[in-house]
Amino acid sequence: MTRGNQRDLARAKAQKKQADAKKGVRNDGLTVEQRKQRDAEILREKQRKKEEAASANNAGK
């Protein structure tokens, strides 16, 4: 009455499922809205720096 490798396969499947569930968890302590606001501010700053670099290149030519 042995189950063969069924138990091992089920254990591996459960471990994979748990690992996949943990991937999406963030530990930064921010809500979704706070994260969106932070990311938007970072993108605005990057865009501003890019525009300044472009204007500096145009002014130097």
Q: Does position 23 have pLDDT exceeding 90, yes or no? A: no
CB 35 within 8 A of CB 28: yes
Q: pTM for the complete prediction? A: 0.51
Q: Does position 30 have pLDDT exceeding 90, yes or no? A: no
What is the longest distance spanned by two Cα atoms in the chain?
83
In this prediction, what percent of the chain has a pLDDT beyond 90? 49
| Amino acid 2: pLDDT | 62
Number of domains comprising the chain: 1
Sign of CA dihedral 33, 34, 37, 43: negative
User: 12 lies in a domain?
Assistant: no
User: 44 lies in a domain?
Assistant: yes
User: 47 lies in a domain?
Assistant: yes
Average pLDDT over residues 15-29: 80
User: 3 lies in a domain?
Assistant: no
Parent domain of 40: 31-61
Average pLDDT over residues 10-37: 85
User: 23 lies in a domain?
Assistant: no
User: 35 lies in a domain?
Assistant: yes
User: 25 lies in a domain?
Assistant: no
